[in-house]
Structures are given as C-alpha cells and as structure tokens.
Amino acid sequence: MAYYIALPFLYLISILPFWLLYLLSDGLYIIFYYLIGYRKKVVLQNLRNSFPEKSENEITLLSKKFYRYFCDLILESLKTLTVSRDQVKKHVVFSEAAVAAFKKYNESKQSVILVMGHMGNWELAGAGFSQLISSPKLYIIYHPLSNKRFDQLVYHMRTRLGNGLYAMNESLRGMLRDRDKVTATAFIADQTPSPEGAYWTTFLHQDTPVFKGTEKLATKLNYPVLYVSVLRPKRGVYTVDLELLTDNPKGCQENEISEKHTRRLEKDILVQPEIWLWTHKRWKHKR
C-alpha cells in the first residue's frame, strides 16, 4: 500500500527540472534541520568526535552545510528515476585521467574493483559512469531492500542507464560468473560491518571497523583496486577522479588495501566534510 501511494509522488519529483528540485530542497532543509531535526544528535556527535579541534559554532555551521547537501542528495537520487543521458553529462564530470584509465582497462580487457565512500552523490556518479563511451561495465554492490516493491524500484533506478547490480551476499558468485566480461565492480566501503570480522583502524580520530570483503575479493581475483573520489565543486555538479591503490592485490600485505582506501576516503572528507553521510551511525560498535 505504501509503495503504490508513494510511487506517483516519487516520479513527480523525479521529472522536476533541476532548478526546481533545488528550490524544493531548500524547503526540505528547513523541515529536516529546524522542524524535525532528523538524526541531528547523531550528526552533531559524529562531527564533534571527528573534528575535536573545531569550536561548537564551527560544528553547527558544518552541520547546516551538511543538511543542505543531504536534502540535495535525496532529491538528486530520486531524479535518477527519470534523468536523461544528456542531463547526467551536465551534472557528473569525469577527470581526463579517470576517462583515460577506464579506457586503458577496457582496451586491455582488465576488470577492476572500485572502492568509494558515501561521499558526494554516488547514485548520480553511477549514472554518469554508464555514459562513458569506452569503459568496463559498472556493477554496483548493493543491499536488497526487505520491501520487494521498493527493491524493484531501486533496482530499476540503478540499472536503467546500463549499469548492473550484485546483491551483497552474492557478489563473489556474480563476479566469478562474469569473469569473461570486462567489469568494474563498485564497493561502498564505509558501511558498518560486524566488529568481529572487521579490520580495526583509526578513522577521523576514532576506532573504526572496516569491512574486509572488498580486500578479500580483490585478493582472490587479483583485480586492480582503484579509489573513486566524488567531490562537489558547486551545487548540482560532481567531479569524479580515480586513484590506483594497487594493481597487484595478491602482493599486498593483509589489511593493506583496507587501510589504503580508508586513508584515501579520510583525505576527501577533510577536503569537503559537508558532503559525507554524517547521518550514518558509523561508530556504533566499539573495538
């Protein structure tokens, strides 16, 4: 029932032009930040712990910038339900180095693993990837939703422009099945894993468990691992860049890949902290 009630409104929002979408986002910011305070305690505590050198006024200002971005993120992600290929190209810009790297791997028939965080807009970035002319096919690791109707909607949203999906618990099976293809498999690595099997490190001044699945799959298949940086130079525009973490995972020491992509994400967050997902309960587990 909830699905059929929500569906017309979701599509109505998705067909709005971007300028009107951002006007709506400004109103949503007032509701989320001032009226309902959506996860405000979580956001403020995360920011205080991550930036102990900042004053309370600086933390408040940063939280307001985050909520403005967060409202944009929600509506931009809904936009991918109907966004056109030409619109994607205007809002997602790949660096020349990233385009050249993807072309090189595609021509050499070398599959790769991409690792990124909840930074910028990963949904729009994925849609943008599908528009690259010469690149491996993108497969995204995702958590299926418990509601089958909404899960089908999200599946459609993420694959309608040509990308593929692997369910989290079937990622290895899917990657092995597609070994004859040239693929780029994307992992969002700042999830909150079970603390028992995680790699523990210091991230933003806090003890943090890191999901080891990315490293394990990279080592098993020996695919090059590349970090994907998604930053926002201005509202509505995202830049995508790549950095090679290793081209020989089997030659890396245990936890080396996990440490590298964690440090690289931390570097991006320090550059533009307001566009990381601070509502996420990243530190709910203790070492």
Per-residue pLDDT tens digits for 207-265: 999 999 999 999 999 999 999 999 999 999 999 999 999 999 999 999 999 999 999 99
Higher pLDDT, 277 or 169: 277
Give the number of other Cβ atoms within 10 Å of residue 132's Cβ. 17
Query: Rounded to the nearest 10 degrees, what angle do helices 256-271 and 213-221 cross at?
Result: 130
Per-residue pLDDT tens digits for 194-219: 888 899 999 999 999 999 999 999 99
Q: What mean pLDDT is predicted for residues 115-130?
A: 95
Which residue spans within 204-271 are E strands per DSSP? 206-210, 225-234, 237-246
**Exposure of 202 by Cβ count < 10 A (0-12 exposed, 13-18 middle, 19+ buried)?**
exposed
Q: Is residue 114 within a helix (H) or strand (E), and if so which, with residue range?
A: strand 112-116
With contact defined as beta carbons under 8 Å apart, do 282 and 242 qualify? Answer: no
Q: What is the mean pLDDT of the chain?
A: 95
Q: What mean pLDDT is predicted for residues 98-123?
A: 96
Is pLDDT above 90 for 3?
no
Residue 131's pLDDT is what? 84
Spatial CA neighbour of 278 closest among 101, 89, 117, 157: 117
With contact defined as beta carbons under 8 Å apart, do 189 and 115 qualify? Answer: yes
DSSP SS3 for 110: coil
With contact defined as beta carbons under 8 Å apart, do 126 and 150 qualify? Answer: no
Residue 276's pLDDT is what? 98
Query: Rounded to the nearest 10 degrees, what angle do helices 2-14 and 148-159 cross at?
Result: 20
With contact defined as beta carbons under 8 Å apart, do 240 and 92 qualify? Answer: yes
With contact defined as beta carbons under 8 Å apart, do 276 and 118 qualify? Answer: yes
* Cα 281 versus chain centre, distance: 15
Residue 48's pLDDT is what? 98
Is pLDDT above 90 for 133?
no
Strands of 225-234's sheet in order across: 92-94, 237-246, 225-234, 112-116, 183-188, 137-142, 164-167
Residue 154's pLDDT is what? 93
Task: Return the ∠ at Cα 268 (arms to 157 and 83), rounded to 5°.
Answer: 20
